[in-house]
Amino acid sequence: MKEKTPGSSRIGVLTSGGDAPGMNAAIRAIYRAAYELDIEVAGIRRGYTGLIEGDFFRMERSHVVNIIHLGGTILGTSRTEEFKSWEGRQRSAENLQNAGIDALIVIGGDGTFKGAARFNDETGIPTIGIPGSIDNDIPGTDFSIGFDTAINTALEAIDKIRDTAISHGRLFFVEVMGRSSDLIAIESGIAGGAEFLVLPEDKNAINDLCTQLSSSFSAGKRYAIVVVAEGNNPGCSFSIAKEVSDRLSIESRVVVLGHIQRGGSPTARDRVLAAKLGVSAVYAYTKGHAGVMAGELKRSVVLTPFDKVIMGRNKPEQNIIRLAKILTK
């Protein structure tokens, strides 16, 4: 690997796919690390869409002032089918070359890295990834930027719902996000003291829930909070609530947290993670790395090749599932 000479480089940065709180903190860290190394940064708007359209701007210090606490992404994000085509990626490479940009840092999730892997391999433009996803399902990192904020947002909602659930004596179903990973449901359920957790792969969940609710309500309990993982079926809690209510003749309410979990000011943990990974991504580039994601494993920054990152999805470990089962029943 050939080391890069500071002062002679320009790197592009984009955020792509699902936005996650802490992406701005990562952009700021990238800019500041690059500035220290005398590397110019080009902001690329709207993810791969902006890359394909050449929607770039020279980042200045003013762009990253007062953004560390902001959710969302100042660069904007998008999903685009065009980057899945060879032509789309070639046009992107030409745009970077025409703008004198030598390397690319992408902040996103699984889909973003699939695109980045192909782009890096086909064009030879060094591309480095940073995991930004509330789902926390990306291999090569213990946590992705945004997850900690998302579970705290879910927790805050559960705590508030508990107040009204207790006052009114109500059964509540709180549906949380998480796509292929149930980790938001598991961790917010544990932290929020949920009475029950419904995970998509648990085929007996509704029967078990009915048995448990029936015995606790007969014993005098008047409220319960059930946390439901949306899995790949957002809105699933409505049918679950109806079935349980019908079977037990208990009224229930449904709260789908949805996109609220994507927004908000990032937690300290997400900001610190974003800082570490943003700075590490820039240093990785200067040391000649390419086609890798900067993640954090056991408190150390680790560079994992894209092909290993996109091979699968991290699933919650059995230990935490067992813990949740013990505490939410």
Interface residue with ligand ADP, options 31, 56, 83, 143 (CB under 6 A): 83
Residue nearest to ligand ADP (CB): 111
Is 11:282 a contact under the CB 8 Å cutoff?
yes
What are the angstrom distances between the C-alpha of 174 and each of 134, 159, 179, 256?
A: 17, 11, 15, 6
* Residue 55 falls in the annotated catalytic set: no
Sign of CA dihedral 266, 267, 273, 279: positive
Could you give the CA distance from residue 58 to residue 320 in angstroms, rounded to a whole number? 44
Could you give the CA distance from residue 22 to residue 43 in angstroms, rounded to a whole number? 16
Sign of CA dihedral 174, 176, 182, 186: negative
* Using rule CB under 6 A, residue 313 touches ligand ADP: no
Point out the catalytic residue in the list 110, 135, 137, 182: 135
Q: Tell the smallest beta-carbon distance from residue 136 to ligand ADP (Å).
A: 12
Q: In which residue are the tokens 């949805």 written?
A: 258
Q: Tell the smallest beta-carbon distance from residue 83 to ligand ADP (Å).
A: 4
Residue nearer to ligand ADP on the CB measure, 111 or 200: 111
Is 284:33 a contact under the CB 8 Å cutoff?
no
Binding span for ligand ADP by CB under 6 A among 29-37, 65-73, 77-85, 208-216? 77-85
Instruction: Please tell me whether residue 164 adopts helix, strand or coil conformation.
Output: helix
Q: Tell the smallest beta-carbon distance from residue 132 to ligand ADP (Å).
A: 8
Q: Which residues pair with 229 in a beta bridge?
A: 176
Return the DSSP state at 16.
Answer: -
Binding span for ligand ADP by CB under 6 A among 4-12, 15-23, 154-162, 204-212? 15-23
Total number of residues that touch ligand ADP (CB under 6 A): 17
Which residues in the 96-155 window bind ligand ADP by CB under 6 A? Answer: 108-112, 114-115, 118, 133
How many angstroms separate the first and last alpha carbons of the chain? 53
Residue nearer to ligand ADP on the CB measure, 108 or 178: 108
* Using rule CB under 6 A, residue 79 touches ligand ADP: yes
* Using rule CB under 6 A, residue 43 touches ligand ADP: no
* Using rule CB under 6 A, residue 269 touches ligand ADP: no
> How many other β-carbons are positioned within 10 Å of the β-carbon of residue 306?
24
Strand 10-15 vs strand 103-108: parallel, antiparallel, or unpaired?
A: parallel
Interface residue with ligand ADP, options 16, 127, 144, 314 (CB under 6 A): 16
Could you give the CA distance from residue 220 to residue 243 in angstroms, rounded to a whole number? 22
Interface residue with ligand ADP, options 48, 143, 223, 306 (CB under 6 A): 48
Interface residue with ligand ADP, options 61, 69, 84, 308 (CB under 6 A): 84
Residue nearer to ligand ADP on the CB measure, 122 or 201: 122
Residue nearer to ligand ADP on the CB measure, 133 or 267: 133
* Using rule CB under 6 A, residue 18 touches ligand ADP: yes
Interface residue with ligand ADP, options 9, 15, 73, 80 (CB under 6 A): 80
Candidates 141, 136, 189, 139; CA nearest to 161 is: 189
Q: Tell the smallest beta-carbon distance from residue 320 to ligand ADP (Å).
A: 22
Exposed/middle/buried for residue 10 (C-beta within 10 Å: 0-12, 13-18, 19+): middle
Could you give the CA distance from residue 256 to residue 275 in angstroms, rounded to a whole number? 31
Residue nearer to ligand ADP on the CB measure, 117 or 194: 117
Residue nearer to ligand ADP on the CB measure, 16 or 286: 16
User: Any idea which residues carry the catalytic annotation?
Assistant: 135
Judged by the rule CB under 6 A, the positions of this chain that interact with ligand ADP are 16-18, 48, 79-80, 83-84, 108-112, 114-115, 118, 133
